A and B are shown apart, each in its own frame.
Chain A
Amino acid sequence: MSSLSQGLGGEYDASRGASPPLAARRPRRRAPARVAVPALLIAGAVNLPLLYLLLRAADSGPRAFPILFSASSLGLLWRTLALVAGSLSLALAIAVPMAWLVARTDLRGRHVWALLGGLPLVFPSYVAAFALVAVLGPRGFVQGWLAPFGVERLPSIAYGYSGALLAIGLFTYPYLYLPLVAALRELNPALEESSHGFGSGRWDTFFRVILPQLRPSLYAGGLLIVLYAISDFGAVSITRYDTLTLSIYNAYRGLFDRGVAATLSGGLAVLALVFILVQFLLIRGLRPVRSRPVRPPRPVPLGRWQWPSQLFLAVVTLFTLGIPLGVILFWGIRAWAVGNTLGNVGAETLNSFGASFLAALVSAVLAIPVAAWAVRYGSKLAKGNERLCYAGYALPGLVVALSLVFFATRHAPGIYQTLGLLVSAYVVRFLPEALSATRAAMADVAPVFEEAARSLGRAPIVVFHTITVPLIRPRLLAGAGLVFLTSMKELPATLILRPIGFETLATRVWSAASEGVYSEAALPALLLFVVSALPIYLLVIRPALTDRNRPRPQQR
């Protein structure tokens, strides 16, 4: 995950501090066209619709200004930024103490807590919002329990700003938490001990020695949460908090003037780029910390803070795992009791799996030439080309979807509302997940293996199939798996681009939850959870929590 955000905005590269290996200093043969040309075409294709959107927004130049700077647009911007600030603060307030507790203290059960802390990633924002609304809504569970005491309505904390804030902040903090745990484990305890030796107190040491070393992880995870908050559609639509994304969607659905939707999308894209630029500037000045711990740090004894810490983690887990799972199971069982079985979402399941599988397959294939060019030939052009492929990941899904709509309706009406266009949107959005996995795998396969194979008389294409692919296969599959999962959960692009009558698990959860038909939302949400829990643990949480200092077992 941290490598993803590196691709997004950061020049920050952990390997920068070390002296480059000999092979890196050597100029290589120039990249052959069979690698460079496909890589250029892929980056171009991924960016074509976005370019088109920007051109169109610029085209309507004079008309765009009154829309962008109208009182209502500025109000939307303000509400969006308020959501960003609130979500980020909430996520920080959870992630920093939680990461420190599981990584550096004698917290009881810290291995279980470490795992539970990452799991909220399993729930997409619309499931989170659905669960919150079902429990804390004016007529939710809690009101039901309080009814005997004469409570007719709860204050509407599940709706509006507070609802959206909880649905995003509570469920995105793992983006900060996971890299923080990894960073805390890699910090050299000797640095802290020498700080204590100088007579600094524990708090002082935390702020002056530990925190500065965590900055790369904080910025990287923070950017992911910020981008998540400005691009979220599922939570804000269910909690009815009007942000830029929600208005863009409504403007587009309203069909009066698609120009308004296009202009606001352009504005939203620019907002995303501003945050990426800020993170880039913040991270650029950082020196990577190269001092690796020579021994595991001694856990800090919590003493009388042991039970308050347990309580803190229990409360967080209640909200982030207990409530959504409870709601899904409760309504799922109810639905089942009245005869609604999983068979009722058979078509949705098939659609979700099919479209996501195609997206994963295409992404894995497209990632290879882009990664190969950047890693093996390393020219500035190749690296810039690779970075360009991250554009779709940085931009809100809604913006990507609308740009594809505008592009297709104008230039390729035949593909509008086809499965192909939907899969294209997934690929534009999630190719970077496959790309960062593939690039990391390729960087780990020393070029000497490929050189040895060619020297033995094998043509490049044979070398690729017999040497490179077997060596990168595990992580290539992991990257494809990640694309599959995120595509399954994707909502806004699916809503806009799906063929008529094409329902996925995500669209079913969303529409049922929006209409308050919880029993219909529960089954597809349960399916999403069941399908994604184990892979997310295997692909995201476990790699992030695994101690990177331990030598990896040899590949066979």
Chain B
Amino acid sequence: MSEHDIPFLIIEDLVVSYGQGAVVDRVSLSLGEQGITALVGPSGCGKTALLRAIAGFETPLSGRIAIDGNEVFGSGRNVEPEKRGVIMVFQDGALFPHLSVHANVGYGVLDRGRRERAADEALRLVGLDKMADRYPDQLSGGQQQLVALARALAPKPRAVLLDEPFASLDADLRGRLRDEVPAILRAAEVPAILVTHDQEEALSVADRVAVMFRGRLLQIGPPDEIYNWPEAPEVARFIGGGQLVTCDVRGGQVCSVLGELSTQAEDGPGRLLVRPEDLTIAASGAPSVAGVVIRRNFYGHDRVDDVRLESGEVLRMRGLGNETHEIGTTVQMALRDKPYRLFLDRDGESLVHQATRAR
């Protein structure tokens, strides 16, 4: 498709400030593909501010935003929200309480002649065409969210911006909508940016994940890449509960409490990304590290144990639910055989390397 030649969203050096300090700090971003981009980060990281700046509800301090090749912010221009061609879906739907579901969905279709049909189609797309004559207060929370999505899709926008769309739903409903919403967006062939503080949601729903931390955009990429090869220690820690084990690189060897790995990196202090599932009970006779189980979290299909090493460090180990360790027992742990992410600390910056199990 030719429209993929121009990225639908370009952001350059965007700064949003609420008085003191930057909430969004020199963020640059270019989204060319269809699909869902999740904007994820801990609360207060600036992801909602970035979304609102794209929608036009926040005036940035500096930088540039272009939607579909048209500059909407920058060089003295600040296009009104209603003229940006992107539509925002708010946290609890923000359905107009005085309008019926059908009138809500048709609200954004400016062409009167097309309004009826567009609203019908959008409601059918989200599977709520039977609810057309109801009012928002007669819908469940999940239905309200779906109507809000239909309302955003009906005018055929260039993109939809979803601000924590599942946050106010209970766990059961959230799970269902996490399946339905991406399917609807793909069927409508409308790209979406979804803000969430829930990293699991970001990984499972999105085609692309952008991680923000303290106003900076740290990394953007496919979910598995973000998970397996984070480019900053903050990304490693926030996504998937990564643990950073201090280590020392000497002559191609990575030395830590967990034994030795080999690497191409230069010498110096560093940190090794070890996820709970990277740790396993060592086969007898293999190199291992001993620790005492101090806490157990049993989830049925799996379990996570907190293990205190002799050094005093506590590491989490994930295993299948059928292996259990009593609190107080000593276990022998080893690293699984796979490549690992290694961060080298240099002058306050983290350089990115790989490490593998020594042969």
Contact = CB atoms under 8 A, between A and B. Distances in A.
B137 to A, nearest CB: 4
Contacts of B49: 26
A448 B18 CA distance: 19
Contacts of A454: 56, 80-82
Contacts of B151: 456
A449 B96 contact: yes
Interface stretch (B86-94, B180-188, B191-199): B86-94
A456 B152 contact: yes
B283 interface: no
B97 A453 contact: no
B333 to A, nearest CB: 43
A456 B87 contact: yes
A380 to B, nearest CB: 14
B82 A459 contact: yes
Given A451-B88, A456-B151, A555-B97, A29 B137 contact: no
Contact of B107 (A456, A460, A554): A456
Contacts of B135: 556
Contacts of A25: 18
A470 B99 CA distance: 10
Contact of A554 (B19, B137, B148, B155): B137
A452 B94 contact: yes
A471 interface: yes
B82 A455 contact: yes
A219 B139 CA distance: 44
Contacts of A458: 82, 107-108, 110
A27 B19 CA distance: 8
Contact of B88 (A26, A452, A459, A554): A452
Contacts of A556: 97-98, 135, 137
Contacts of A451: 55, 57, 81, 88, 90, 94
A223 B61 CA distance: 45
A476 to B, nearest CB: 14
Contact of A448 (B81, B83, B94, B107): B94
B98 A27 contact: no
Contact of B155 (A27, A30, A456): A456
B108 to A, nearest CB: 3
Nearest to B86: A455
B356 interface: no
Interface residues of A, number: 25
B59 interface: yes
Nearest to B78: A29
B98 A29 contact: no
Contact of B98 (A26, A457, A460, A470): A470
Contact of A455 (B18, B55, B96, B110): B55
B155 A449 contact: no
A283 B257 CA distance: 63
Contacts of A460: 80, 82
B88 A30 contact: no
A451 B152 CA distance: 13
Q: How large is the interface on B (under 10, 10 to 19, 20 to 34, 35 or more residues)?
A: 20 to 34
Contacts of A30: 59
Most chain A beta-carbon contacts within 10 A, residue among B98, B148, B155: B98
B97 A554 contact: yes
A467 interface: yes
B59 A29 contact: yes
A45 interface: no
A457 B82 contact: yes
Interface in B249-270: none
A191 interface: no
B94 A449 contact: yes
Given A455-B55, A455-B82, A459-B82, A555 B98 contact: yes
B135 to A, nearest CB: 6
A21 to B, nearest CB: 12
Interface string B287-326: 0000000000000000000000000000000000000000
B314 to A, nearest CB: 34
Interface in A526-556: 554-556
Contacts of B87: 455-457
A448 B96 CA distance: 10
A391 to B, nearest CB: 31
A446 interface: yes
Nearest to A26: B18
Contacts of A467: 96
A470 to B, nearest CB: 5
Contacts of A26: 18, 49, 52, 58
A471 B97 contact: yes
Nearest to B23: A26
Contacts of B58: 26, 29
A447 B107 CA distance: 17
Contacts of A452: 88, 90, 94, 96, 148
Nearest to A466: B107
Contacts of B81: 451, 454-455
B155 A457 contact: yes
A532 B19 CA distance: 50
A459 B151 CA distance: 17
A453 B108 CA distance: 7
Contact of A471 (B57, B82, B98, B155): B98
Contact of A446 (B80, B94, B148): B94
Contacts of B57: 29, 451, 455
Nearest to A554: B137
Interface string B91-118: 0001011100000000110100000000
A449 B137 CA distance: 15
Nearest to B83: A457
Nearest to A445: B97
A25 B87 CA distance: 23
A29 B18 CA distance: 11
A27 B52 CA distance: 12
A56 B96 CA distance: 51
A503 to B, nearest CB: 43
Given A454-B56, A459-B82, 14 more contacts: A446-B94, A451-B81, A451-B94, A452-B90, A455-B56, A455-B82, A456-B155, A457-B87, A457-B155, A458-B82, A458-B110, A459-B80, A460-B80, A471-B96
14 contacts: A25-B18, A27-B19, A446-B94, A449-B96, A451-B57, A456-B87, A457-B87, A458-B108, A459-B82, A460-B80, A470-B98, A554-B97, A555-B98, A556-B97
Closest 5 CB pairs of A and B: A456-B108, A452-B94, A554-B137, A455-B88, A448-B94
Interface of B: 18-19, 49, 52, 55-59, 80-83, 86-88, 90, 94, 96-98, 107-108, 110, 135, 137, 148, 151-152, 155
